[in-house]
Amino acid sequence: MSKQREGRLGQAGRLFAALAVLRLAAGEDTRLRTPEDRRPGDHPRGRINDVQRDLYELLTAARDKGGERWEAAATAFRSIPDFLEDGNVPHGNLNDPEFAAFKAGYEAQIAVFRDKSPRLLT
């Protein structure tokens, strides 16, 4: 994956996407979570806290399911460090332009994951 220089909000959106894919692949969620699942004013850290869970549990659940679910979970897990390069996930509520940056990062990363796991992420 090429390094993205989109700032902390874009990378936070990508991190949210990776965790949402992990949850879906593990069967923790029945649909892919999106940035709109919470109000636009909510802060990125709160959004990520909503989707995070014990990563080991998510990975082992996806591994038990095998196939594309395992591949998607492993890909998402391996991508996580890249999304913290610009620093920690920002605190504070998002205004409209900040939410747009968060959502753009999410959508860009979901597109990457969708290319690798089209059946899971349709």
The 10s digit of each residue's pLDDT in 2-42 is 444 688 899 999 999 999 999 999 998 899 988 887 655 56
Q: What is the DSSP annotation of the chain? A: -PPP-SHHHHHHHHHHHHHHHHHHHHTS-SS---GGGS-TTS-HHHHHHHH---HHHHHHHHHHH-HHHHHHHHHHHHHGGGGGTT-SPPPS---HHHHHHHHHHHHHHHHHHHHH-TTTT-
Using one digit for the tens of pLDDT, what is the confidence trace for 70-111?
Answer: 999 999 999 999 998 888 888 888 888 988 999 999 999 999
